[in-house]
Amino acid sequence: MMRAKRATDVIIAGTGPAGLTAALYLARADREPLVIEGDQPGGQLTTTTMVENYPGFEKGIMGPELMDVMRKQAERFGARFKSGTVNDVDLSGPPFKITVGEDTVECQAFIVASGASARHLGLESEEKLMGKGVSTCATCDGALYKGKRVIVVGGGDSAMEEATFLTKFADKVTIVHRRGELRASKAMQKKARDNDEVNFIWDTVVEDILDPEKDEVTGVKLHSKKKDETTQMGIDGVFLAIGHEPNTAFLKGHVDMDDHGYIRCERDCCRTSVDGVFACGDVMDPKYRQVATSVGTDCRAAMDCEALLSA
């Protein structure tokens, strides 16, 4: 028997590609989903410039524009939006109780699409130049740096993979690592070391990124920890590969997660350890983190959610 429709059948946490895809599917199913915008409405794509690897846009599309189009499409079919961030949940239902600021709303199903945040260096110049020469995704932005000079900050598997990928486009790729040895797996270290186009600068941190006043990256200030001296290096792009943090703190103790905070889902679907709670996009994907993969998982989550509500 179909469950009686309530004021809020579904709440979706997040308005990145994953959250908006789920909103579109469930809105078209006449569920009028309530979408919680989060502290960065539109997700990480709002900090990028040109997106060229998402199907359907021959000449590419600006990240903020893509998110705006996705939002309007979901709104057209009846998706509703609420500003704020989910700060607490009660998943003992259904109905589930989702707390946003001082408000608590109930739902029969809950989709977590709150994404993951790339770790930053904490520099003021870094934030000003994000999407203007500073990037957290080589797969997304690498093709924009043909014939240019870039650095990759980090020493793990992601840094090795990003640096190797960037050699397809950039004229010079340099890995800047704060330690004297890499923490990447031996296989990934070998892959990077064996690539003659990848260079290394050891025991060094990025002290500043130039030049916010020009609204583009022109270089970096590097501080050598061993020599205790700062030098300047001319480059065109900075790729941050120092890890991501899934935005799942509000779910700790409520659903099954791995040691890094990524939500564990059942194989081949987006169901979590709690019946009626689904996860999609970067909160359950520590590997790919692409627009297309986020959209794909949230399509599945939305369809599974609709099947549950219609049971």
pLDDT tens digits, residue range 20-45?
Answer: 999 999 999 999 999 999 888 887 77
Letter for the amino acid at 270? C
Decide if pLDDT at 309 tops 60: yes
Q: What is the pLDDT of residue 26?
A: 96
Domain-terminating residue out of 189, 220, 240: 240
- Residues 222-280: pLDDT tens digits? 999 999 999 999 999 999 999 888 999 999 999 999 998 999 998 778 999 999 999 99
Decide if pLDDT at 302 tops 70: yes
| Residues with catalytic roles | 137, 140-141
Residue 188 lies in a domain: yes
Q: What six digits make up the tokens of 21? A: 């895809």
Decide if pLDDT at 2 tops 60: no
- Full domain range(s) for residue 255: 10-117+244-310
- Mean pLDDT, to the nearest integer, of 146-158? 93
Q: How confident is the model at residue 3 (pLDDT cuts 50, 70, 90)?
A: very low
| 3-state SS, residue 43 | helix
What is the model's pTM? 0.75
Residue 306 lies in a domain: yes
Return d(Cα 41, Cα 116) in angstroms, integer.
13
Decide if pLDDT at 6 tops 50: no
- The CA-atom distances, in angstroms, between 303 and each of 121, 284, 294, 297 are 38, 17, 14, 10
Residue 201 lies in a domain: yes
Return d(Cα 67, Cα 81) in angstroms, integer.
14
Domain count, the chain: 2
Residue 3 lies in a domain: no
Residues 113, 249: one domain? Answer: yes
Domain-terminating residue out of 240, 266, 298: 240
40 or 1: whose pLDDT is higher? 40
Residues 152, 215: one domain? Answer: yes
Domain-terminating residue out of 220, 240, 260: 240
- Residues 209-230: pLDDT tens digits? 999 999 999 999 999 999 999 9
Residues 221, 297: one domain? Answer: no
Decide if pLDDT at 165 tops 50: yes
Decide if pLDDT at 152 tops 70: yes
Return d(Cα 72, Cα 74) in angstroms, integer.
5
Return d(Cα 235, Cα 198) in angstroms, integer.
14
Residues 92, 232: one domain? Answer: no
Residue 125 lies in a domain: yes
Residue 2 lies in a domain: no
Decide if pLDDT at 5 tops 70: no
Decide if pLDDT at 161 tops 90: no
Decide if pLDDT at 167 tops 50: yes
Residue 4 lies in a domain: no
Residues 156, 213: one domain? Answer: yes
Mean pLDDT of the chain: 90
Residues 76, 87: one domain? Answer: yes
Main-chain dihedrals φ then ψ at residue 239, nearest 5 degrees? -110, 120
- Residues 80-139: pLDDT tens digits? 999 999 999 999 989 999 999 899 999 999 999 998 888 899 999 999 999 899 998 888
Residues 166, 135: one domain? Answer: yes
Q: How confident is the model at residue 51 (pLDDT cuts 50, 70, 90)?
A: confident
Return d(Cα 6, Cα 9) in angstroms, integer.
6
Residue 1 lies in a domain: no
Q: What six digits make up the tokens of 43? A: 């997700």
Helical ranges in 95-210 per DSSP H: 124-128, 138-141, 157-166, 186-193
Residues 128, 109: one domain? Answer: no
Q: Kindly give the pairing relationship between strand 34-36 and strand 10-13.
A: parallel
Residues 182, 227: one domain? Answer: yes
Q: What is the CATH number of the domain that holds 163?
A: 3.50.50.60
Residue linked to tokens 């900050």: 153
H/E segment holding residue 70: helix 63-76
Decide if pLDDT at 170 tops 70: yes
